[in-house]
Structure 1
Amino acid sequence: MATFKMSTTEEDVSGKTFDYVIVGGGTAGLALASRLSEDPSVTVVVLEAGEANIGDPNILVPAQFGKTFTNPKYDWAFPTEKQKYSNDKEFIWSRGKGLGGSSGLNFCAWVKPPAADIDAIEKLGNPGWNWQEYMKYSQRSETFHPAAQEQMDVYPHTYEARFRGTSGPIHTTVPFHYHAVDSLFQQTLVNKGLKNIKDPYGGDINGTWMANANLDPRTWTRSYSTTGYFIPAHDRPNLQVLTGATVARILFDDAVDGHDLTATGVEFQHDGRTYQVHAKHEVILSAGAIQSPQILELSGIGRAEVLKKIGVDMRIELDGVGENVQDHTFVGVSFELTGSPETYDQMRDPGYQAEALRLHAEGRGPQRMGITSFAYFPLSAATIDAPVLIERAAAQVLATEILPPGRREQLDLQIACLRDDTSVDLQLIAFPGFFTASKISFNPTPEPGKSYCTVLAFLNHPLSRGTIHAKSASPFDLPTIDPHYFEQDFDLEILVQHIKYTRTMTDTEPFKSGVVREVDPGPKCVTDQDIREYIKNTHGTSWHTIGSCSMLPREKQGVVDPELRVYGTRNLRVVDISIIPIHIAAHTQATAYMIAEKAADLIRASWLQRV
């Protein structure tokens, strides 16, 4: 991509009035800004705390997994509190810093949830948030490219056109993949009884299947919010995007008894100076699941005890802000493969990596790689003990006498899901390389010349709930994050069952012949208690946090209503993944775009009614 220079300055924004002020130029923020600014009669400004990072090969070249993680140019690297039920481990929650947000930091997995998970959101009191609506808006965000002939020659790829978008800003396709690993994984799981899914993008993911990636096959580069939504819209005269702008608080007019507050703009800092920008119609928070609740609290919206602690005067008491936090966590089981097939492990060889980069410039080679082999299935497919384990979890939930308002409805839905043999409680991914113990850093280094496969196990529907709250009144102090991992023991138990199931794959062909040995957790990890300790010591975040600004009825600790409007306000909305109130069995990127697409229609409809 040619060098791109951002043209908006603080002088273009400070003291000015725009119809829409969007806080956060991430996955959802840029998508929303692009859609709203399609109407030339409205003006939009986006404030992004990070840099533009446009045209950066560390972002654009797909298979450089983890290269941007913890680098402060790209990553907020939020630390968590010590986790009591994970041997007091502290975690780093990586999140995209800069235009495109986490869509410029992630592993390019393009995954959509099962229909039942989205319909559950509607059941919690959110009319219009169902699978039919999800499909409509999700398809609006994407342009799908079928597998190329060179890919079909080495691996069969199937799809149904009716489940795919054809004209959206985000390009998706079948990426380059190490097909020997995919064949091992896919065929083994079919032989173990899982069904092969022709197309997992129509609401049924219960089985094993090959995923797409958000890559543009015309250039084999990452297709994300910046390239898909912002670049085509950047020269619109009604759209301004200011980077390096840290929002300190939302501004409101004076309170009038009996009336909701009106957001009038935001206060932000840029190069050490404080500025204000004003909103004629709406202020929209798109700062993500970690920083959207923080900004609400800095603005006087949240729990009384939190606001008192950070010294911020209360404007609206909303106990749900920063609560109901749910995160997917994962753990890996790694295997050495027979015959040393080509895998991502070869990327550790500088010569191989240099050649891969050279080939990428020609639109060829393994730097086009994506993560492709997925499987989702119910607990009952993994263990005959499923009914006993599920009823034990249900009893623990029932025994909890004091729950926040609305929490029991969520947990009841989750227990009902577990009891349903068509649900997807477990998730496995075949990563074609060594990816355990240290995760992204790839240390300790596996043996040179050998190839590995790591089966990654993900917790889809955690029963545990965490919190995210502002640490102080300063926008530069990272919030306090406590995910409460494994506070509900069933969350740990279901990962134990993941690992036990994964280990049985070595009893089934072709995995049986394709594997030399299990490397992690290894032969010394035998009992369930051993497995529990392995999980506690090695699990990590999947970067899929939701719930911190939950879309629920206000009396059930909701923060936003079904139109994404913050309770107690007339014109403040939250448009990002934080609004999802109950977790979904999917990686969250595609859902973030769907939220932005739907929000654009909600916002336009709202203001058309007022003019």
Structure 2
Amino acid sequence: MGEFDYIIVGSGSAGCVLADRLSADARNRVLVLEAGGTDRRFWIKLPIGYGRTFFDERINWKFETEPEQAMKGRSSYWPRGRVIGGSSSINALVYCRGLPSDFDSWLDKGNVGWGWTDVESYFRRSECRVDAEGKAGPGGPLHVSDVSREMHPLKRHFFAAAQEMKLPYTDDFNGPTPEGVGLYQINTRKGVRCSSADAFLRPALDRANLRLETHALVRRVLFEGRRAVGVEFEQNGQVFTAQAAREVILSAGAVNTPKLLQLSGVGPAALLRKHGIDVVLDQQAVGGQLQDHIAVSYFYKATEPTLNDALYPLRGKLAAGLRYVLSRKGPLSLGVNQCGGFVRSRSDATQPNIQLYFNPITYSTAPEGKRPLMNPDPFSGFILSFQPCQPLSRGRIDICSADPKVPPAIRPNYLSEEQDIADVIAGGRFIQKMARTQAMRGLIKEAMPPCLDIMTDEDIVEDFRERCGSVFHPVGTCGMGPDPRHSVVDPMLRVHGLDALRVVDASIFPSITSGNTNAPTIMVAQKAADMILADRLNKDAA
């Protein structure tokens, strides 16, 4: 395949940013390798179409965790994008930076340059804010849209309930005061999904020094001693190699990046030898410190029409489709998560400890395994949902075979810390309190089983174990830190103990951010690009 200055593995949320930033310098020859194919698909571009892509094996890795004790022996389904744009092409669109304290905690762990005041500008570099009128402001290429005018009127009940509970209101989760309830902003541009590929990669592909190869499954990183010099990948049944004159950059995500490192001989030595892989570096932290958000939803029948009434009947689907085709507006132009917030469910919480979701739709009667967002219930209904923001539980991801086509073993180890269980109870009680407000009592026709209102603390935990699921925010498996005994990359995102190898994706998070992880992953890539370009300048000057 030849030689390039930089080889980027993965064209997801981070890889697309890197491709754009690094190729902006015409001296840099950049190769991007993507295991999936094109993102030019109707269900990707349609905002609510992730109800289809959620299970589409053509564009989705469709990972499954190992059976989890905390989930009564159930496995958790983890959709991850196997397509140009990665998970930004199949996610639920919510753009949320997280809380400033999330990043200050990164700094407190010894990651110099990663506090809130350090990273805020990198968020802004990507963002193009679009107001409710559709007017785009200055900034970057990633559209962050206010779609409040298209949101369902049921939202007034949620905000009235929050007001009764004296919860703060925020008009911008990505502004200076993100704590409170509000309306989620989403990554759409004129009613169409705006993925990382749309914002960063596709405009950059016109450059002669940027090359994208799809259906290219990277099998391993190639080393000379402890220096990464290229990669080996499979494409259309053939095996190729590509050489990297400057760096190999892994942006394959929190599942596939540690897997690729282990396949390449970087990971726990005993694990690698078990699968017949030569050890390049015995690094126990590779694959460890896995974190994820898990949530549970409570379903209610409503006293007034919801999205179920609009989207369940065939005529409603046709009407919504026609409106979308003609105007790019209506329910098909939105994600399902419309309202929510970051709140404190415990009196002793020093910062918001749960994230709320209020969805004007239910799909409790959808057949098992069907696409729920395309199968709303035949009655008016809505959902209240929560996830603990900062789980303390840690898991692992490890290869099961030397065959790169075999999925790794994913062991999240959910609810293994007492604090996480305490947050589950507090979150359940918080939803219970919200459902008992005058505003919600007027909206609730009846609670659908299991009924939170009659649960004890033990019942809340047991129900959570039986029904909770991932919110699809895996991070931390190649964590950042100054100590190579407990982290995989340093604060410059260079792999400890190796040369010319960097990791730039959600796997480097030292701890999970409080909300949706797409926005901070894009921020990480913007900051990493500055580091990589500065390194080139310094080395060239030397």
Q: CA deviation at 1:52?
A: 1.5
Greater displacement, 347-356 / 18-27: 347-356
In the other structure, the counterpart of 2:144 is: 172
* Secondary structure in structure 1 of the residue aligned to 2:53: coil
Secondary structure, counterpart of 1:280 in structure 2: strand
1:289 matches 2:254? yes
CA distance in 2, matches of 1:165, 1:79: 40
Q: Is the 8 A contact 2:312 2:376 kept in 1?
A: no
Structure-to-structure mapping, 1:100-111, within 5 angstroms: 100-111=85-96
The Cα of 1:203 is off from its aligned counterpart by 4.5
Q: 2:214 aligns with which of 243, 266, 283?
A: 243
1:609 paired with 2:538, answer: yes
Partner of 1:225: 196
What SS class does the counterpart of residue 113 from structure 2 fall into? coil
After TM superposition, which residue ranges in structure 1, 4 or more long, deviate above 4 angstroms?
A: 435-440, 443-447
- Taking the aligned partners of 1:531 and 1:470, their CA distance within structure 2 comes to 34
Please report how far the alpha carbon of residue 519 of structure 1 lies from its aligned counterpart in structure 2 after TM superposition. 1.1
Take 2:87 and 2:370, find their aligned partners in 1: how far apart are those partners? 16
SS of 1:505 mapped into structure 2: helix
User: How far apart, in 2, do the equivalents of 1:471 and 1:121 lie?
Assistant: 31
State the alpha-carbon separation in 1 of the partners of residues 146 and 308 from structure 2.
17
- The SS at the match of 1:213 is coil
Contact 1:320–1:558 (CA<8 Å) still a contact in 2?
yes
Q: Quote the Cα distance in structure 1 between the aligned partners of 2:454 and 2:50.
A: 29
1:504 aligns with 2:433: yes
Asked if residue 355 in structure 1 is aligned to residue 319 in structure 2, the reply is yes
Note closer, same or farther for the CA distance 1:250–1:445 as it changes in structure 2 (3 Å cut). closer
The answer to whether residue 372 in structure 2 is matched with residue 427 in structure 1 is: no
Which amino acid in the other structure matches residue 106 of structure 2?
Answer: I
Partner amino acid for 1:310?
Answer: H
Report the Cα offset of residue 202 of structure 1: 2.8
Q: Quick one: which of 345, 349, 366 aligns to 1:379? A: 345
Amino acid at match of 1:92: Y
1:117 lines up with 2:102 in the alignment: yes
**Counterpart-to-counterpart distance in 1, 2:461 and 2:481:** 34
What aligned pairs does 1:159-238 form with structure 2 within 5 A after superposition? Answer: 166-175=138-147, 177-217=150-190, 220-238=191-209
TM-score (norm 1): 0.84
Pairs within 5 Å for 1:110-509: 110-148=95-133, 166-175=138-147, 177-217=150-190, 220-253=191-224, 255=225, 261-340=226-305, 342-344=306-308, 346-363=310-327, 364-370=329-335, 371-381=337-347, 418=349, 420=350, 423-435=351-363, 441-442=371-372, 448=378, 450-509=379-438
Tell me if structure 2 keeps the 8 A contact 1:435–1:454: no
> Percent identity at matched positions?
33
Tell whether the 8 Å contact from 1:428 to 1:456 is kept in structure 2 after alignment: yes
Asked if the contact 2:44/2:50 (under 8 Å) is kept, the reply is: no
Structure 1 match to 2:474:
545
Q: CA 1:431–1:67 in structure 2 vs 1: closer, same or farther (change >3 Å)?
A: same
1:73 is matched with which residue?
A: 58
Query: What code does the residue aligned with 1:192 have?
Result: M
Alignment partner, residue 525 of structure 2: 596
The residue type equivalent to 1:569 in the other structure is: L
Q: 1:248–1:269: 8 Å Cα contact kept in structure 2?
A: yes
The answer to whether the Cα contact below 8 Å between 2:308 and 2:377 also exists between their aligned partners in 1 is: no
Query: Is the Cα contact below 8 Å between 1:111 and 1:588 reproduced in 2?
Result: yes
Q: Matched residue of 2:144: which SS?
A: strand
Give structure 1 stretches of 5+ with no counterpart.
Answer: 1-13, 152-163, 256-260, 382-386, 388-417
Rounded Cα–Cα distance in structure 2 between residues aligned with 1:359 and 1:192: 37
| Amino acid of the structure 1 residue aligned with 2:73 | D
Quote the Cα distance in structure 2 between the aligned partners of 1:120 and 1:444: 39
CA distance in 2: counterparts of 1:345 and 1:553, whole angstroms:
54
Report if the CA contact (8 A) 1:427-1:460 is conserved. yes
Offset at residue 566 of structure 1 (A): 0.3
* Mapping for residues 575-586 of structure 1, pairs under 5 Å: 575-586=504-515
What are the Cα deviations for residues 520-548 of structure 1, in whole angstroms up to 9, with x where unaligned?
A: 42279522222222211111111101110
What is the rounded CA distance, in whole Å, between the counterparts of 1:608 and 1:326 in structure 2?
35
Q: What secondary structure is seen at the aligned counterpart in 2 of 1:127?
A: coil
Work out whether residues 7 and 244 of structure 2, in 8 Å CA contact, stay in contact via their aligned partners in 1: yes
What corresponds to 2:444 in structure 1?
515
SS at match of 1:201: coil
Q: For the structure 1 residues 212 and 440, does the alpha-carbon distance in structure 2 shift closer, same or farther, using more than 3 Å as the test?
A: farther
2:40 matches 1:50 = no
SS of residue paired to 2:174: helix
Q: 1:435 to 1:496 in 2, by over 3 A?
A: farther
1:40 is the counterpart of 2:26: yes
The structure 1 residue matched to 2:67, chosen from 82, 89, 102, is 82
Distance 1:140 1:165, change over 3 A: farther
Larger mean Cα displacement after TM superposition, 124-133 or 354-363: 354-363
CA 116–443 in structure 1, closer or farther in 2 if over 3 Å, else same = closer
After superposition, the C-alpha distances for 1:71-116 in whole angstroms (9 at most, x for unaligned) are 1111101111000121100111100111000000101001111111
1:62/1:108 contact within 8 Å kept: yes
SS at match of 2:448: strand
After TM superposition, the structure 1 stretch with the greater mean CA deviation from structure 2, 493-502 or 468-477, is: 493-502
Distance 2:478 2:9 in 1: 15
**In the superposition, relative to structure 1, how do residues 443 and 111 fare at CA in structure 2: closer, same or farther (>3 Å)?**
closer
Residues 346 and 352 of structure 1 are in contact (CA less than 8 Å); yes or no, is this contact kept in structure 2?
Answer: yes
Report if the CA contact (8 A) 2:311-2:376 is conserved: no
The SS at the match of 1:517 is strand
One-letter code aligned to 1:115: P
Displacement of 1:460: 1.1
CA distance in 2, matches of 1:304, 1:568: 14
Query: Over aligned residues, Cα RMSD in angstroms?
Result: 2.1
Using the size of structure 2 for normalisation, the TM-score is: 0.95
**Paired residues of 2:428 and 2:452 also in contact (CA < 8 A):** no
Instruction: Quote the Cα distance in structure 2 between the aligned partners of 1:144 and 1:305.
Output: 49
Q: 1:345 to 1:47 in 2, by over 3 A?
A: farther
Alignment check: 8 A CA contact 1:19 1:280 kept: yes
Change (3 A) 1:345 1:499: farther
Give a deviation string over 1:454-506, Cα, whole Å, max 9, x none.
01111211111000011111110111100011122432331222122212223
Q: Unpaired runs of 5+ in structure 2?
A: none
Cα gap change, 1:221/1:308 in structure 2, threshold over 3 Å: closer, same or farther? Answer: same
Q: By how many angstroms is 1:174 displaced?
A: 1.5
Q: Does 1:62 find its partner at 2:56?
A: no
- Secondary structure class of the residue paired with 2:138: coil
